[in-house]
Each structure stands twice: as C-alpha cells, then as structure tokens.
Amino acid sequence: MADQVHFELVSPERLLFSANVSEIVIPGTEGDFAVLPGHSNLISTIRPGVIHVMEGTQITDRIFVEGGFAEVNDKGCTVLAERAQKVDEIDRRLAEQALSDAREDVEDAKNDLDRNAAQNAVAIAEARLHALEGSVY
Amino acid sequence: MPSLKDLKVRINSTKNTQKITSAMKMVSAAKLRRAQEQAEAARPYAERMEKVLGALAASMAGKDNAPALLGGTGRNQVHLVVVMTSDRGLCGAFNSSITRQARKTARDLRAAGKTVKILTVGRKAKDQMKREFAEQIVASFEEIARPRITFETAEKIAIQIRNMFAAGEFDVCTVVYNKFKSAIAQIVTVQQLIPFANAVANENNAGPAALYEYEPSEEAILTDLLPRNISMQVYRALLENSASEHGARMTAMDNATRNAGDMINKLTINYNRTRQANITKELIEIISGAEAV
C-alpha cells in the first residue's frame, strides 16, 4: 500500500518484527529520523535508543535497540540490531544494575580498549533507563 | 571356540551398544533440525549485512583511508588461525577433518616463513592441535554450545579476535570450520576473516548498486559495520559447524547402529550353530552310551 512502509527488525538470531506500518522513528547516530512511505534511500548507523513504530498518530510499539544500522530503500525499512527488546519488557532493576556495573567497569578499566568497551556499556545502560522514562513523541 | 555363555554375553552387550547408538542418532537428528532452524533464522541478518557491506566495501576498496579491518595492516607476517570444532567426539571424521586442514594450513604458513598463532574453539580443537602446535595456541574457548549457541558467545570470540587485532598481534585471520551441506556431506572451509577479503568478490554480485545516502559518512558506517560483521561471521561459522557436527554424528551413529545389527546377526548364527552342535554332541553321547549297554 502506498501509505504504508514495510518495516523489518532483524537480529542475528531471528526476525524480530515484520509488518507494514505507517511510520517508524529511528534513533540515528546523527539524530532521530522518521521513515515514511517514499523515503529516499538511506543507510544510517543507530545509537542506543528507542525505535517508535507508529500507526497513524498512534505509537503501537516501542522497541529498545542497543545499536545497529538501518537501511531504507524503495522496498521498505530494515533495521539490523544485535540486541533489541520491547520497552515494556525492560526490567528497571536489571537496567539500573547494568548501569552501575558498567560504571564500575569504567573505573576499573586498565587500558583504553577496556575503557572504551565499558563506556559503550554505560551509554547503552543509560539509554535503556532513559527509554523507561517515557516517550517524547 | 567360545562357549555358549560367552556368545550370549557378547550378543547382549552388542544389543546394548546398538540401543545407545540408535538413541544418539535420534538425539542428533533432533539437534540437527534445531541447528538448521537456527542457521536459517540467522540468514536474513547475514544477507542484509553482506549486501550493505559489499556495496560499501566496493566503494571504499580503492581508497587509502580504508579501515584496517577491511584493507589489512599492509603486512602479511603474522597469521591467526581460528580452529572451530565440537566439544564432543563420536561424530565420525568431523573433528579430525577440521584439524587436519588446520594443521595443513598452519604448516604451509610456517613453511612460507610466517608466524602462526592459533585460537581454538571447542575442546577437540585444543586437544588435537596442541600435539603439534602447543606453543602457538594463544587462546581457546570451550563448552560454547551449551545449552545452545547464542550470538553473545560468538561476540565474545569476536571481541577477543578484534582486541588482538587492535593490539597488532596478527595481520591476517582465517577461520577453519565445517560448512554444512547435508547430513552426510560437510565441507571443510577455510575462510579469511581479516582483512575482509570478499570485498572485491561482492562487487560483482551486488548488481547495480542503489544510490544511498549515508548518515554519517560511508567511512564511519564501515568502521561501525566491520566489527559487527566479524561477530556475525563467527556466529555463522559456529552455527554451520554445529549443524555439521550433528549431521556428522547422525551419520556416524546410523552406521554404528547398522554395524551393530550386522554383528548381532553374525553372533546369533554362531550362537545357534554352537547350540545345535552341543545338542548333537549330547545325542551322540546318549546313543553311543545306550549302544554300549
């Protein structure tokens, strides 16, 4: 259909989401962008954040991704993400735990490699908690 | 000439073995199906990744500022060979065919004057490689397939490889594993992981590349994508390997069950002959005894 765009969310382990929707808002590295039908071809990396799937003006799904990349072409929009979970399924306690663990790792890191990895983990954990705070859309 | 009792014991023990092998075959068949499903599920991701990466790599291939994971370090001296096998035996020639190929690769490299480092995945790889290359093994992973192979485990291995590469510990990385073709045929595959060798090959099958906007730059995306691709390739190799392992074990156990059946038949014939011979002997004794009276 002309007013719908095919959206797929793929993880290495399985196809997580596949449906025709009217709009998707994706947290790109350089800022959020919305994909509507007829969007120009685009490849973008994704920062840790929430993908909003919209039906009309209604948000139907909020999916947290830890990063990945998105490809938009005339056939639809595909997001490749290593790890994704629905925002409703995030466990606040686990998320807070992950954040404090990651912060400790940053403190304990002995070399740049470890520190970078730990800082990434902090960013992911912060974004996950932020996702729980509610939607801006 | 074995006694009747000996034969009976042997027949029974062979029957027990047959029960075990046929149960193992059944288990492997179920596991093979699951492994195949998992490999199937990983395909969409891998295909899309490959397509995007192929297009990107083709456009970056000629440039000097290509990331090291794509273009290599410019040297070709230290080779890391990743050997992937299973943790368990009883699967025919599965493990030995992988390690044979790995040893050959390592020997060839050494003969060419290169430094070889080995990373093993799976207990069998470590056991079989350490006989000849004990000093070259730099890291090993075991028990990764339990309860099942996840992307996390693949990522752990990939991170180790990437960190070693970032630290300049090797220049070229190849993976040796079994590609799954069917339950009876597995192909030992040697695949180059770093630098990303498929770049040029993919250029052809990418077709007329659609024009994309890149956000951020092509180069930044590529830098982000290549490490992910390594994880993905490792994950894929692990899945292929696990499907191959279960396929190989299924075939091996099928053969074993059939052999046990043949053996039981032979032993049973032997048993019956001996039994009849005994009866005949006893009859002769009775008759000749009666005649003597």
pLDDT tens digits, one per residue of B103-127:
999 999 999 989 999 999 999 999 9
Q: With contacts defined as CB-CB under 8 Å, which chain B residues touch A71? A: 48, 52, 212
Catalytic residues of B: 91
This prediction has a pTM of 0.85
Q: Which among A12, A13, A42 has CB closest to B212?
A: A42
pLDDT at B158 over 60: yes
Q: Assign B52 a pLDDT band (cuts: 50, 70, 90).
A: confident
Asked if the C-beta of A120 comes within 8 angstroms of chain B's C-beta atoms, the answer is: no
Q: What is the mean pLDDT of chain B?
A: 87
With CB atoms and an 8 Å threshold, state whether B45 touches A29.
no
Q: Which among A28, A42, A80 has CB closest to B49?
A: A80
Q: Which of B163, B213, B233 to mutate to test the interface with A (most CBs of A within 10 A)?
A: B213
What pLDDT does B251 receive?
93
Asked if the C-beta of A73 comes within 8 angstroms of chain B's C-beta atoms, the answer is: yes
Asked if the C-beta of B58 comes within 8 angstroms of chain A's C-beta atoms, the answer is: no
With CB atoms and an 8 Å threshold, state whether B41 touches A82.
no
Residue B95 near residue B125, CB atoms below 8 Å: yes
Rounded Cα gap, residues A33 and A39, in angstroms = 11
What pLDDT does B1 receive?
66
Three-state SS sequence of chain A: CCCCEEEEEECCCCEEEEEEECEEEEEECCEEEEECCCCCCEEEEECCEEEEEEECCEEEEEEEECCEEEEEECCEEEEEECCEEEHHHCCHHHHHHHHHHHHHHHHHCCCHHHHHHHHHHHHHHHHHHHHHCCCCC
- If you write DSSP's letter for every residue of B60-112 in order, what string do you get? HTT-TT--HHHH--S---EEEEEEE--S---STTHHHHHHHHHHHHHHHHHHT
With CB atoms and an 8 Å threshold, state whether A45 touches B216.
yes
With CB atoms and an 8 Å threshold, state whether A12 touches B42.
yes
Q: Assign B7 a pLDDT band (cuts: 50, 70, 90).
A: very high
Which residues contact residue B270 at a Cβ distance below 8 angstroms, ignoring those fewer than 6 apart?
B2, B7
Asked if the C-beta of B207 comes within 8 angstroms of chain A's C-beta atoms, the answer is: no
What pLDDT does B203 receive?
45
Residue B271 near residue B7, CB atoms below 8 Å: yes
CA pseudo-torsion sign B25, B29, B34, B40: positive
Rounded Cα gap, residues B66 and B223, in angstroms = 9
Q: Assign A77 a pLDDT band (cuts: 50, 70, 90).
A: very high
pLDDT at B204 over 70: no
23-62 of A, contacting B, C-beta below 8 A:
28-30, 33, 40-45
Q: What is the mean pLDDT of chain A?
A: 86
pLDDT at B162 over 80: yes
With CB atoms and an 8 Å threshold, state whether A71 touches B52.
yes
With CB atoms and an 8 Å threshold, state whether B215 touches A45.
yes
What pLDDT does A132 receive?
81
Residue B182 vs residue B18, higher pLDDT: B18
Q: Assign B61 a pLDDT band (cuts: 50, 70, 90).
A: low
Asked if the C-beta of A11 comes within 8 angstroms of chain B's C-beta atoms, the answer is: yes
pLDDT at B100 over 60: yes
79-138 of B, contacting A, C-beta below 8 A:
none
CA pseudo-torsion sign B44, B221, B79, B163: negative
Rounded Cα gap, residues B226 and B31, in angstroms = 31
With CB atoms and an 8 Å threshold, state whether A69 touches B225.
yes
Q: Assign B200 a pLDDT band (cuts: 50, 70, 90).
A: very low
Residue B248 vs residue B209, higher pLDDT: B248
Average pLDDT value for residue range B275-281 = 95
Q: Which among A33, A43, A80 has CB closest to B45?
A: A80
Average pLDDT value for residue range B190-218 = 66
Residue B61 near residue B204, CB atoms below 8 Å: no
Question: In chain B, whose CA is at the least distance from the CA of A43?
Answer: B214
With CB atoms and an 8 Å threshold, state whether B42 touches A80.
no
Q: Are strands A76-81 and A15-21 parallel, antiparallel or unpaired?
A: unpaired
Place of tokens 């995306």: B221
Asked if the C-beta of B41 comes within 8 angstroms of chain A's C-beta atoms, the answer is: yes
Which residues contact residue B241 at a Cβ distance below 8 angstroms, ignoring those fewer than 6 apart?
B84, B85, B86, B177, B178, B180
Nearest-CA distance B197 → chain A (Å): 21
Average pLDDT value for residue range A2-15 = 86
Place of tokens 């940053």: A106
Q: Assign B82 a pLDDT band (cuts: 50, 70, 90).
A: very high
Which residues contact residue A42 at a Cβ distance below 8 angstroms, ignoring those fewer than 6 apart?
A33, A70, A71, A72, B212, B213, B214, B215
Asked if the C-beta of A1 comes within 8 angstroms of chain B's C-beta atoms, the answer is: no
Residue A95 vs residue B202, higher pLDDT: A95
Q: Are strands B78-84 and B115-121 parallel, antiparallel or unpaired?
A: parallel
B231-277 tens-digit pLDDT = 988 998 999 999 999 999 999 999 999 999 999 999 999 999 999 99
**Structure token pair of residue B33:** 């199906």
Rounded Cα gap, residues B150 and B144, in angstroms = 9
Q: Assign B202 a pLDDT band (cuts: 50, 70, 90).
A: very low
Average pLDDT value for residue range B60-89 = 80
